[in-house]
Structure 1
């Protein structure tokens, strides 16, 4: 199968691209490298540096693509509140351009990287796919808009589409040749890799945004999923896609950890002190997001293999030290 992976030089996109190459697929990676690194593109994949808005230059009718994995976009909830125009342009307008290019090229299968941020502040935990979608940040709103556009495209044009709503992705994938693919954002905004930078002495302290949330220790609670488990779900989702259907699946471990529990896990794994500073809340941060992945497990046959937070942190720490 010939597949296009947008954002395939990014964290999750590069891991999925590698699994696709290893499975024998013909893979083309499209990434503008505005926030990613070309070294993450797996060997065996063709790389095209281009904006998602220009996907039609790659997705031509003559190119013969069978499917698209769509990861390209901006991911920082905090930035989405201070610079919403960037997220609407990259995430929503860019995705609409991709859908138009797919339609013109006759490409009928899509797996979309969505997010748990589409739900906002949930009234029930764990979150199922039937939960009300009411984003509290622009990032979640842009992704929800794309989910809705994909649903319309499936209904009107027989697109076979799956949206995967991630919770917090972490860890690193160890490949058979011993190399690793891990998290490397610029700028870095995620808790675990920032905490590892502090543990390694590359940052003075870790800022925890808010300790007055309605949670046991006052800090936000999130569900952490290992990137290897998440990547496997994408391949299963492609196999499950059906013409005229837009399926939505939550992907997480079903267990929530507070920011301070993550801090303690990083201290335990690294053996380093981790100075913490409590900072003001960030706009758009829900108090608690924990997934129910029962639907994905039942319909996709997906089961996460690495669910212990310390194991996830340990993989991330091994990857981080490999680059020191």
Structure 2
């Protein structure tokens, strides 16, 4: 059994990764500042280290942990993740996402931890007419959020080249769904929880533009179920334990779904209409981003198995 330090493990995605690691027979310690994470998402027998990545003392926290437990690697999810917020306060995103990743790399090195799974994003590709988007596609992010995730990849890759770190970066496409109500996404920016909230409150969800170059005029994204995504982390951890460094890998379903199609899926799952309103386009949004997920299937043996209906249910 291996043990992984999971940053951001009390968050929406992190709590699912934690559950998947444990289900696969691994152990995990969570490091989270609880700025957005919830202790209610963590099982009682999981150790929680409450610490901000940018606060002093992170190397000491990890060194103390490795004295007490045999830590095999880091799964680094902790980051800010809102595209519109990143446009409004870009320096906050550079400080937390890039600075936090560098701080974690330094602390892991001090503690002698040599494996690193980095949480990246399809936002690194930016606006593109390619469909699907493969990993070798140019990375030209259109938002500070995407820039910071790409800069984090660069930092991990360059550090690995210099120091022999075994690593991978998982480029998430649009994450949705949940394993249970307790682990559900409670964020205010992701589409699916916003659509669910519109059903429950009767207040319309905003659709940012209906004049995009897509079949129905709304933005097209590749949605991946969070449980599938969590299983991709387990596959990545297994590869690193074998000494392999897969590099950057897309995590998606090879299938695009528009905003209006997501709304229709929720209407079908809930049996109720979803109120929505068309508003102006949102700065930093590309029209369409759909994954070519063939490389992760070849390298890690991972494929998504859950569709949009499971995410909307």
Partner of 1:232: 231
TM-score, length of structure 1 as denominator length? 0.90
Q: Alignment partner of 2:118: what SS? A: strand
Match of 1:93 among 81, 99, 108: 99
Partner of 1:184: 186
Runs of 4+ in 1 over 6 A off after TM superposition: none
TM-fit CA distance, 1:103: 1.1
Could you tell me how far apart the structure 1 residues matched to 2:19 and 2:309 are? 25
TM-fit CA distance, 1:192: 0.7
Partner of 2:59: 56
Could you tell me how far apart the structure 1 residues matched to 2:82 and 2:96 are? 12
- Which stretches in structure 1 are left out of the alignment for 5+ residues? 315-324
Q: Deviations over 1:46-70 (max 9, x none)?
A: 0111112243232115344211010
Could you tell me how far apart the structure 2 residues matched to 1:26 and 1:269 are? 35
Partner of 1:221: 220
Partner of 1:274: 274
Could you tell me how far apart the structure 2 residues matched to 1:254 and 1:101 are? 36
Contact 1:161 1:243 survives alignment (8 Å): no
TM-fit CA distance, 1:243: 5.2
TM-fit CA distance, 1:263: 1.1
TM-fit CA distance, 1:285: 0.2
Could you tell me how far apart the structure 1 residues matched to 2:156 and 2:264 are? 40
Contact 1:226 1:306 survives alignment (8 Å): yes
State how many pairs are aligned: 306
Q: Alignment partner of 2:62: what SS? A: coil
Trace 1:68-79 onto structure 2 (pairs within 5 A): 68-79=74-85
TM-score, length of structure 2 as denominator length? 0.94
Partner of 1:322: none
Q: Alignment partner of 1:5: what SS? A: strand
Contact 1:198 1:205 survives alignment (8 Å): yes
Could you tell me how far apart the structure 1 residues matched to 2:301 and 2:229 are? 13
Q: Deviations over 1:273-292 (max 9, x none)?
A: 21211111111001001001
Q: Deviations over 1:88-107 (max 9, x none)?
A: 11110011000000111110
